[in-house]
Structure 1
């Protein structure tokens, strides 16, 4: 399917803050903040299916499509090695994650579904450590090819902290003949961790390695609005997965209890943001959110 037709002009529900939901609301231990190892056990797989099922119910209630995004944000070589995964076992886990996502999509009551292979940053999700686009392409290519082998509809790189690594993911996706979305994260001032503006980050990719879609994740809507300037690039934003909290990334990292935020403010500020970003089509959540937050963003009853 051509990228221009993949989202077919419709609206799509995706999931919320998987890792924070499992950690704080379900008491699941996630070493290195990684959820993909859950795929290795029957208990873990069942938990993931139940989790995604809540968002399928939201999509059905809202009468929109469902994008099931794999639990693979940490499933890359560096983080995998810390968790005891080599290239072979990491390939197996990434493939299994895609298979699980397909199972969720196929068993849902939603008529329009897509499966997205999630790529996370090589390093910490909040720190811009510097990257080379060619090196990043090589680094992320194994995970992207695992996704392609299992038939994802698209690749979605989330929490990108700088344009260079994002370019690398786009190149890896192109080499695997897959459509790709790039979601940047921003600090409270609306800028990426490397200091770039959202406008500059999108422009950098558009100049050499344009993605099929852009988005923002792991930031409260009030933070994103600080980075909007009214220019045409805002019409390229299609994905949004906000944090529940208005705290900075540094403050959230230091928290030992979950800040589930002000739900009313989240809905109100997301609505305001959408008025400035009319192409937003895929709405879910990120840190601190669960299905209750996402249901509220879609104006339907909570699934839990």
Structure 2
């Protein structure tokens, strides 16, 4: 399904923020290590709030008749954290079931909706110095990759990776499952992966090292303007998606902010449209500081393709 979506559709929507929006709601407290995932079990108000966010994203895509990528809340649900948290060992599979069931109940027939399963870095996503080497990363992530691949998820997505070495190991673990997969890097204001590797080089290094490369690459927790400034047309041929922050501040400065920060929506959407047009990036979605209006703005790009961020 993932390959056909990327091949057949020039514009595909991806979800905007979920956990970031939940943690701003009164009375909602995220789990200290598993974030919003335990909400699949309750309390009811938090579970309903999370489901409502996904349903509204489904509604935008359905109204626009555009394909949509959603991801189950399994980010950093590795075996070590799951065991330490004392939650059901089936939490990865349960989280995928939560979202695929919601998709099946609420998605219309106007456009396809693919559900992915997230994996995250072993340590801090903004600290490349803490990232494990490829061999350690492959071993660390293999258990969760296998658990997620055994579910009904349409693809795997390794997200917020700050270093190429860990990305390579995680990609090996995902590739070994036989499931289609994507790799998403955290990139900074210079358009480089946070470990300093230029994004085109990072993608090429993984492609060259992997027997089964990913279906494509994403960036997230960044701003489209950073890539537009750093990369010429043709540099990002393997970049298929961006889930962009609503703010153009350095992501490391945004980490731990007590309030949501976002640039004016029209400027953000114009930058996303420029990246889509200049670099042929088909999948557009949001990360920190984004919500329903951002997804509406991305859906409108199809009808307003000529725009500028300057």
When the two structures are superposed, what TM-score results if normalisation uses the length of structure 2?
0.88
- Contact in 1 for aligned 2:75/2:120 (Cα 8 Å): yes
Residues 1:85 and 1:139: Cα distance change in structure 2 (over 3 Å)? farther
Gaps of 5+ in 1: none
Q: Is this contact kept in 1: 2:131–2:162, CA < 8 A? A: no
- Given that 2:117 and 2:153 are in contact with CA atoms closer than 8 Å, whether structure 1 keeps it comes out as yes
Cα RMSD (Å) of the superposition? 2.0
Number of residue-to-residue matches in the alignment: 293
Matches within 5 A, 1:1-12: 4-5=3-4, 7-10=6-9, 11-12=11-12
Aligned twin of 1:214: 217
Match status 1:109 vs 2:112 = no
Q: Which residue of 2 aligns with 1:51?
A: 53
SS at match of 1:32: coil
Q: For the residues of structure 2 that align with 1:217 and 1:196, how far apart are their CA atoms?
A: 15
Match of 1:67?
69
Partner deviation per Cα, 1:152-195 (whole Å, 9 max, x = no partner): 11101111111111112221122111111011111111111111
Instruction: State the TM-score, normalized to the length of structure 1.
Output: 0.89
Question: In structure 1, how many angstroms separate the alpha carbons of the residues matched to 2:252 and 2:69?
Answer: 29
Question: Structure 1 segments of 4 or more deviating over 4 A?
Answer: none
Residue 229 of structure 1, CA deviation = 3.1
Q: How far, CA to CA, are the matches of 1:26 and 1:105 in structure 2?
A: 26
Task: Look up the SS of the partner of 1:190 in the other structure.
Answer: coil
The residue matched to 2:156 in structure 1 has which SS?
strand
Task: Measure the CA separation in 2 of the matches of 1:73 and 1:242.
Answer: 17
Q: Secondary structure at the match of 2:15?
A: coil
* C-alpha contact (below 8 Å) 1:70/1:116 kept by paired residues: yes
- CA change 1:25–1:277 in 2 (3 A) is farther
Deviation string 1:200-251 (CA, Å, 9 cap, x unpaired) is 11111011122211111110111222331333x4121111100001111222
Residue 204 in structure 1 maps to residue 205 in structure 2: yes
Tell me the CA shift for residue 197 of structure 1. 0.8
Structure 2 counterpart SS, 1:264: helix
1:258-297 pair list within 5 angstroms: 258-278=260-280, 280-297=281-298
Instruction: State the partner residue of 1:119.
Output: 119
Where in structure 2 are there 5+ consecutive unaligned residues? 302-310
* Residue 26 (structure 1) shift: 5.4
Asked whether the equivalents of residues 184 and 217 of structure 1 are also in contact (C-alpha less than 8 Å), the reply is: yes
Asked if the contact 1:15/1:291 (under 8 Å) is kept, the reply is no
